[in-house]
């Protein structure tokens, strides 16, 4: 070894000591604990509701405990409980834990944190009360009525204000990638909620959306798809970018890939909503935009998945031993599967098969159970032992939960994929003589074994959740909460010198306000391009002279249809396929829906389409509808529809009729000025006619009952465009003429 002589040593004077002021502070773990407990509690509630409605399709006559527990009322409760209660609390749990540590700051206001927590829980309780009682807007994932919408807005602002002021007062200059996703979630969800919730109140718990028909459908699925994007995806990606590296003790695989992932995802996602409306009455140019941007979403989505999985490079031995990482790996894999399938389902050829079937239900639950559920469980197992300063009570129970959850997802999703493909195949099959091979009811009865397997998978999954709750309760009891966790960090230095070779994106990562503004601009572009022409260019929605406003009785019946959640099982949109025009009648056109507040196109056919229920081969007598609503299985053997016999005894509230007529006129429905004063006279006359028809068949029911109004609405459907069903024209993509 070469020896260094003293004269070769270069003496460098010591660098001057820079006095860096260090500040002591405390992280707030109480708010993290509160949201963690709420996450587990509402997860159990939401999933039990899901299991119950799944079993209702297996045992419809036994479990349809109407009206409050009917499928149409409980299914929105299930979706809202899982999305906004379980996942929502999971988001805030992760936010409050990670944000404080990434910013080296306590939340700006403990009081705002508490208001956020209790306000959010009260909103959930309000939803849990109002939805089973039938108070709903009839718009999927946005069913809550206007007072609750206002409360959501207020609490969301409270959350955002607390978060953003904390960011502004941070001690850590650099904004880590997770915070980019947190900011994007806050601003985009605010825009989505406000735009989709513009409604005209009729009473304290009743409103009509200001949009109608095609425009309402576009706004709803712009909101609906992006609620998935910016409530179920972007915040959880932020949690992934924080908790996965923490659990694996590895840095994120690629900083540059995270930049591409973030900006590409938030720009592309906002355009994708129209792929829920393919082959519908939505203008073709809007459908095409939805297809293009939905397919392109594959690339940033998989970029994020790859970034997550490759973060675990060199740590796979640890994955085999660490149950938290097992949950996270399955979650990221499910995210990859769902974000591959989503772009594929947006292709018209695939969408023609999947839409309105259980295939879409399977797709949604792979994301919900796999991505959101498993990541939430992993975060709970990692986080609660730390803030309670103890070890997880039982790793064996956690591993049992992992396998119950994983197998539950498989038993849930695989039968539904099979069922969806079989539904589409059976709906479209013809006999050699050119007749439809299967009635719709035959396809329903064929699905029952798949529905039973789905319920079994759900039972497995929720049994794992019960195991988790027990494990976490025992963990909490053996520890003690570190409510205020001491920390220390240097104060934020106002002056900053750019480092040699520093990436250009670092500029915006140090500036939260420009990051917020650029994010807002990015997400507004797609929505503006799709919505502005649809609202301002009249040729996008050509009118039909024969389409008239609903009569007062039909309007009341339509509100009952929405109240009972009929839209969750029945569509009102005939697509231009030969199989659909043969089965239902003439394909749907944009001008038919100009007076529909809200639209009722639906997204799932557990029952048949009803767009042409009042005309042609679909038309049934008032007596048939009465008996079918009273006891569906007595009329349609094998039906999974719940009974609505309570409508026979319940008196229709006609005191609301004048207010509803005036509200509709304000929204542009051409009721004559002052018509509200004679509306109930017309209502009673039409109701008497239906009651008289029923008496001819020895059914004596007063004309003032709710069932009369619902029959009136069902008999109206499709009558505006003609008396007989017609096949779609032949143009290569739609139905052949008969």
107: DSSP letter? -
Give ∠ CA 138-354-460 in degrees, rounded to 5: 80
What's the pLDDT at 20?
67
Rounded distance between C-alpha atoms, residue 237 and residue 252, angstroms: 12
Confidence of residue 721 (pLDDT cuts 50, 70, 90): confident
Q: Is 503 annotated as a binding residue?
A: no
Answer for the pair 353, 417: CB distance below 8 angstroms, yes or no.
no
Report d(CA 236, CA 241) in Å as an integer.
9
| Helix H or strand E segment including 22 | strand 22-28
Cα–Cα distances (Å) from 674 to 62, 201, 487, 654, in that order, read 47, 19, 68, 17
Confirm if 634 and 627 have CB atoms less than 8 A apart. Answer: yes
More confident residue, 649 or 494: 649
pLDDT of 733 higher than 80 = no
Alpha-carbon distance 668 to 597, whole Å? 10
Q: Which two tokens stand for residue 358?
A: 């259980």
Q: What percent of the chain has pLDDT over 90?
A: 88
What pLDDT is stored for residue 18 in this prediction?
54
d(CA 327, CA 235): 17
Residue with tokens 């209660």: 85
Closest by CA to 139, choosing from 65, 199, 186, 179, is: 199
pLDDT band at 9 (very low <50, low <70, confident <90, very high): very low
**pLDDT exceeds 90 at position 737:** no
Chain mean pLDDT for the chain:
93
Which residue, chain included where needed, has tokens 């010591």? 14
Strands (E), 29-80: none
Q: Residue 317's pLDDT is what?
A: 84
Above 60 in pLDDT, residue 600? yes
In 3D space, the residue among 346, 352, 345 whose CA is nearest the CA of residue 576 turns out to be 352
What is the Cα–Cα distance from 188 to 273, expressed in whole angstroms?
A: 14
Calculate the dihedral angle through the C-alpha atoms of 468, 470, 473, 477, rounding to the nearest 10 degrees: -130
H or E segment and range at residue 199: strand 199-203
Residue 65 CB contacts under 8 Å (≥ 6 apart), including other chains: none
Is 261 labelled as part of a ligand binding site? Answer: no
Task: Report the C-alpha gap between 304 and 335 in whole angstroms.
Answer: 9
* Number of CB atoms found within 10 A of residue 647's CB: 23
Annotation-wise, does 628 bind a ligand?
no
Give CA–CA dist 130/204, Å, rounded: 12
- What integer pLDDT is reported at residue 502 of this predicted model? 77
Q: Report the C-alpha gap between 473 and 471 in whole angstroms.
A: 6
Look at 59-63, 152-156, 436-440, 552-556 and tell me which has the smallest mean pLDDT: 59-63
- Render 325-372 in DSSP notation, one character per residue: HHHHHHHHHHHHHHHHHHHHHTSHHHHHHHTBSHHHHHHHHIIIIIII
Burial environment of residue 296 by CB neighbours within 10 A (0 to 12, 13 to 18, 19 or more): middle
3-state secondary structure of 402: helix
Which of 36, 135, 34, 162 lies closest to 80 in space, CA to CA? 135
Cβ distance 132 to 73 under 8 Å? yes
| pLDDT in the model for residue 314 | 81
Q: What is the pLDDT of residue 496?
A: 65
- Which single residue is written with the structure tokens 């209790």? 118
Q: What is the pLDDT of residues 283-309, one digit of tens each?
A: 999 999 999 999 999 999 999 999 999
Q: How does 152-185 read in b/e, with b if 16+ C-beta sit within 10 Å?
A: beebbebbbebbbebbeebbbeebbbbbbbbbbb
Beta-bridged to residue 712, according to DSSP, are none
Kindly give, in sequence order, each residue whose CB lies less than 8 Å from that of residue 314, ignoring residues fewer than 6 positions away.
Answer: 250
Closest C-alpha among 465, 377, 513 to residue 94 = 377
Closest CA to 556 of 673, 712, 437: 712
d(CA 287, CA 272): 9
- Summarize the confidence of residues 307-317 as an average pLDDT: 89
Q: Is 570 annotated as a binding residue?
A: no
Q: Is the dihedral of CA 136, 138, 141, 142 positive or negative?
A: negative
Residues in the chain: 738
d(CA 53, CA 132): 13
- 275 is known to lie in a ligand binding site: yes
Given this model, what pLDDT does residue 19 score?
60
DSSP summary character for residue 674: T
Those residues whose C-beta lies under 8 Å from the C-beta of residue 367, and which sit 6 or more positions away, are 228, 232, 334, 335, 338
pLDDT beyond 80 at 735: no
Q: What is the pLDDT of residue 21?
A: 77
Token pair for 650: 């319940």
User: Residue 555 in contact with residue 660, Cβ under 8 Å?
Assistant: yes
Tens digit of each residue's pLDDT (9 = 90 or more) over 215-270: 999 999 999 999 889 999 999 999 999 999 999 999 999 999 999 999 999 999 99
Tokens of residue 722, six digits: 């003609």
Check residue 67 and give its pLDDT. 93
Q: Judge contact between 409 and 370, C-beta under 8 A.
A: yes
Q: Tell me the C-alpha to C-alpha distance, in Å, between residue 341 and each of 301, 304, 412.
A: 11, 15, 17
**Alpha carbons 393 and 506: distance in angstroms, whole number:** 42
Whole-angstrom CA distances from 408 to 335, 420, 518, 732 are 17, 18, 41, 42
* Distance of alpha carbon 235 from alpha carbon 238, whole angstroms: 5
Q: Dihedrals φ, ψ of 420, to 5°?
A: -60, -45
- Which two three-digit tokens encode residue 576? 């231009």
Domains of the chain listed by start with CATH number: 21-223 (1.20.210.10), 552-716 (1.10.760.10)
Most trustworthy range by pLDDT among 61-70, 167-176, 398-407, 489-498: 398-407
Write the DSSP assignment of 212-281 as a string of letters: -HHHHHHHHHHHHHHHHHHHTTHHHHHHHHHHHHHHHT---S-HHHHHHHHHHHHHHHTT-GGGGGTTSS
Query: How many CB atoms within 10 Å of residue 502?
Result: 10
DSSP state of 208: E
Q: Is 276 annotated as a binding residue?
A: yes
Closest to 632 measured CA to CA, from 650, 622, 619, 645: 645
Q: Which two tokens stand for residue 303?
A: 């970029």
Assign residue 668 a region (left: φ > 0; alpha: ψ between -120 and 50; beta: otherwise): left
Q: Is the peptide bond before 152 cis (omega within 30 degrees of 0)?
A: no
Cα–Cα distances (Å) from 295 to 283, 366, 631, in that order, read 19, 19, 44
Report the SS3 class of residue 430. Answer: strand
For residue 669 the two structure tokens come to 């429905």
Q: State mean pLDDT over 596-608.
A: 97
Helices (H), 81-176: 88-103, 110-130, 146-168
Between CA 579 and CA 733 the distance in angstroms is 12
Report CA 107 to chain centroid distance, whole Å. 29
* pLDDT tens digits, one per residue of 112-139: 999 999 999 999 999 999 999 999 999 9
């Amino acid at each position: 070894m070469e020896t260094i002589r003293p004269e070769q040593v270069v003496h460098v004077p010591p660098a001057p000591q820079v006095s860096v002021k260090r500040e002591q502070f405390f992280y707030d773990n109480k708010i993290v604990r509160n949201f963690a407990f709420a996450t587990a509690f509402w997860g159990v509630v939401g999933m039990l509701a899901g299991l119950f409605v799944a079993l209702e399709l297996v045992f419809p006559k036994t479990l349809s405990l109407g009206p409050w527990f009917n499928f149409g009322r409980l299914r929105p409760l299930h979706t809202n409980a899982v999305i906004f209660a379980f996942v929502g609390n999971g988001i805030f749990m992760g936010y409050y834990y990670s944000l404080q540590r990434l910013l080296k700051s306590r939340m700006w206001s403990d009081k705002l944190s508490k208001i956020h927590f209790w306000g959010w829980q009260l909103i959930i309780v309000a939803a849990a009360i109002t939805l089973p009682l039938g108070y709903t807007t009839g718009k999927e994932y946005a069913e809550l009525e206007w007072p609750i919408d206002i409360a959501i807005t207020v609490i969301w602002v409270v959350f955002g204000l607390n978060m953003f002021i904390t960011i502004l007062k941070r001690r850590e200059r650099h904004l880590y990638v997770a915070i980019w996703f947190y900011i994007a979630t806050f601003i985009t969800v605010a825009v989505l909620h406000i735009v989709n919730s513009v409604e005209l109140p009729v009473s304290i718990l009743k409103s009509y959306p200001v949009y109608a028909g095609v425009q309402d459908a576009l706004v709803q699925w712009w909101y609906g798809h992006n609620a998935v994007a910016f409530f179920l995806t972007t915040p959880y990606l932020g949690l992934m970018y924080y908790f996965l590296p923490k659990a694996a003790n590895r840095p994120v695989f690629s900083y540059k890939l995270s930049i591409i992932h973030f900006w590409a995802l938030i720009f592309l996602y906002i355009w994708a909503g129209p792929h829920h409306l393919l082959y519908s009455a939505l203008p073709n140019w809007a459908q095409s935009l939805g297809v293009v941007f939905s397919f392109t979403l594959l690339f940033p989505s998989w970029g994020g998945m790859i970034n997550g999985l490759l973060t675990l490079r060199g740590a796979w031995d640890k994955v085999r031993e660490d149950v938290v990482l097992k949950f996270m790996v399955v979650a990221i894999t499910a995210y990859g599967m769902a974000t591959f399938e989503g772009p594929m389902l947006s292709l018209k050829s695939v969408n023609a098969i999947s839409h309105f079937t259980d295939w879409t239900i399977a797709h949604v639950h792979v994301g919900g159970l796999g991505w959101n559920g498993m990541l939430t469980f992993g975060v709970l197992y990692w986080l609660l032992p730390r803030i309670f300063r103890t070890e997880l009570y039982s790793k064996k129970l956690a591993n049992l939960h992992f396998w119950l959850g994983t197998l539950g997802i498989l038993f849930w999703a695989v039968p539904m994929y099979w069922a969806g493909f079989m539904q589409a195949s059976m709906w479209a099959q013809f006999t050699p003589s050119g007749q439809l091979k299967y009635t719709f009811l035959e396809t329903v009865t064929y699905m029952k074994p798949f529905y039973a397997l789905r319920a079994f998978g759900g039972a497995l999954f929720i049994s794992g959740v019960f195991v988790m709750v027990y494990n976490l309760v025992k963990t909490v009891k053996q520890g003690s909460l570190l409510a205020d966790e001491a920390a220390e960090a240097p104060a934020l230095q106002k002056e900053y010198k750019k480092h040699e070779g520093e990436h250009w994106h670092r500029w915006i990562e140090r500036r939260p306000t420009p990051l917020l503004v650029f994010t807002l601009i990015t997400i507004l572009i797609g929505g503006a391009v799709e919505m502005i022409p649809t609202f301002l260019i009249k040729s996008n929605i050509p009118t039909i002279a024969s389409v008239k406003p609903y009569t007062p009785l039909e309007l009341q019946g339509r509100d009952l249809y929405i109240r009972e959640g009929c839209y969750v099982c029945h569509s009102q949109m005939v697509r231009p396929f030969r199989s659909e025009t043969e089965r239902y009648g003439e394909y749907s056109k944009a001008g038919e829906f100009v007076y529909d507040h809200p639209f009722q196109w639906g997204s799932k056919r557990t029952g048949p389409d009803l767009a042409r229920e009042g005309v042609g081969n679909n038309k049934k007598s008032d007596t048939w509808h009465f008996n079918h609503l009273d006891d569906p299985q007595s009329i349609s053997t094998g039906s999974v529809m719940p009974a609505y016999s309570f409508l026979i005894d319940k008196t229709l509230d006609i005191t609301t009729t004048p207010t509803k007529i005036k509200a509709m006129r304000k929204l542009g429905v051409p009721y004559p000025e002052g018509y509200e004063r004679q509306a109930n006279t017309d209502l009673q006359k039409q109701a008497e006619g239906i009651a008289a028809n029923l008496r001819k068949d020895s059914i004596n029911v007063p004309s003032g009952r709710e069932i009369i109004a619902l029959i009136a609405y069902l008999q109206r459907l499709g009558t505006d465009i003609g008396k007989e069903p017609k096949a779609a024209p032949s143009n290569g993509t739609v139905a052949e003429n008969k």
